[in-house]
Structure 1
Amino acid sequence: MFVTSSFRLARASAFAAVCSGLGVVAHVFAGGTVTAASAAGGLALAFGIALPVTGRERGVRTILSLLGGGQAALHMLFAVTCPVVGHAGAAHPHSGLLADVAMLTMHGWAVVLTALWLARGEALLWSLLRRLGARLGPVLLGEPCPAGAPLLPPSQGGPGLPRLSALRHVLHRRGPPPRRPVFLSLVPGL
């Protein structure tokens, strides 16, 4: 499928917003602080990570590795640019080995759940684009309809009668045929 540069920029921006937002929220939740400059730098970093791979549909593995790498890079960026000083450092997750394990566990769960969410959105987006392309592609490209081809498929009931097709979710069961109304049985040929 042909992908325009504006579509790639929009996808990379969405990934960068989710990735940097997750990193900022996790860092602040753990007791750290984030300045506006480091948050903007994190957004630019996540955008730079995502932009090269936005040319086609990506699966869970790719999204998970990109998000995990992005979270690791954002964690290091926030740890360097926003150091914890004073007695607040004792409660920060960087203060001990046990806290580091808890922090890695929290980051891991957040990354996995967010990657699954992003992968589901990615699959939905590409499914929608494929469907729209199949329906609107010939119209937008100006491909003419063959002469004499009907615009709508013919109905099963003949001309002028309503279409009698079953829905996909209707169950067909064996049994006697459905009863016809009395007035139809009086008309010959029906």
Structure 2
Amino acid sequence: MRARLPLRLVRSIAFTVVCVGLAVLGHRAAGGSGPASWAVVAGCAGVVLAAVLAAGRERSPRTVIGLLLAAQVVLHQLFGASGGAGSPLSLHISHGQGLGAGLGMVIAHLTATLITGWWLAQGESLLWSVLRRVGTRAVRRLSRLLALLGADAAHLPPPAGRAPLRLTPSRARHDLRHTVSRRGPPLPAAS
């Protein structure tokens, strides 16, 4: 099932709000001040553009978490360059900060990203499940309506995920020729 533009935009905006919100909250928690407003706007624009391009179909949890992690790294770099709290994502020892503080920031980013990515992936799975159910019901109701009106329902596409069963005469002969029947008379009862 492919997503059309309105669904892509809604999913992309939801992903962007969660992704950029997570990055801004992380920077506020790390340094008390958030990134510059131009950096937040640029980050939102970049994430929504990437998300629209990736939102063409259902994505696996691994893909959702991977995209969120990549976006978090880019946003962290952007927010660090804008003069916001935090330094670029690395494990270097900076002035007044030991290796533990840098490692702690990386672990905090990864933990928050994994939890949020799992949450987004569950929402993605639920959304597509609902869309498949609604689509299947709509096709069934439309075929019933067409049957009531006397139209041929054979022209409708099959419900998503199901291939139409077409049994041609040559296919039927092939299937029957390779069918083995092991049924015979019952065996006598063992005494």
Secondary structure of 2:49 counterpart: helix
Aligned partner of 2:44 in structure 1 is 43
Aligned to 1:103: 105
* Residue pair 1:49, 1:70 contacting (<8 A) in 2 also: no
Q: Is 1:63–1:119's contact at 8 Å kept on the other side of the alignment?
A: yes
Deviations 1:44-76 (A, max 9, x none): 121122121101111111011100000000000
| Contact kept? 2:28, 2:85, Cα under 8 Å | no
Give the TM-score normalised by structure 1.
0.67
8 A contact 2:35–2:80 mirrored in 1: no
1:76 paired residue number: 77
1:61 aligns with 62
Query: CA 1:62–1:131 in structure 2 vs 1: closer, same or farther (change >3 Å)?
Result: same
Opposite residue 48 of structure 1, the aligned amino acid is L
Q: Which residue of 1 aligns with 2:131?
A: 129
Give 1:2 deviation, angstroms.
4.0
Shift of 1:14: 0.9
Q: After the TM superposition, which residues 1-190 of structure 1 pair with which residues of structure 2 at under 5 Å, given as runs?
A: 1-31=1-31, 32-83=33-84, 95-139=97-141, 144-145=146-147
Structure 1 residues without counterparts, runs of 5 or longer: 86-91, 149-190
Q: What percentage of residue pairs aligned between the two structures are identical? A: 37
Q: Secondary structure at the match of 1:57?
A: coil
Letter paired with 1:59? S
Change (3 A) 1:39 1:146: same
**Structure 2 contact 11–55 (Cα < 8 Å) conserved:** yes
- Cα distance change, pair 100–94 in 1 and its aligned pair in 2 (3 A): farther
Whole-angstrom distance in 2 between the partners of 1:98 and 1:132: 51
Distance 2:7 2:63 in 1: 19
Letter of the 2:76 partner, please give it. H
- How far apart, CA to CA, are the structure 1 residues paired with 2:139 and 2:96? 54
Q: Deviations over 1:20-41 (max 9, x none)?
A: 0000000111014322211111
Q: Is the 8 A contact 1:93 1:103 kept in 2?
A: no
Provide Cα deviations, 1:141-160, integer angstroms capped at 9, x if missing partner: 89602579xxxxxxxxxxxx
Distance 1:17 1:116 in 2: 16
Q: State the superposition RMSD in angstroms.
A: 2.7
CA distance in 1, matches of 2:8, 2:144: 25
Give structure 2 stretches of 5+ with no counterpart: 87-93, 151-191
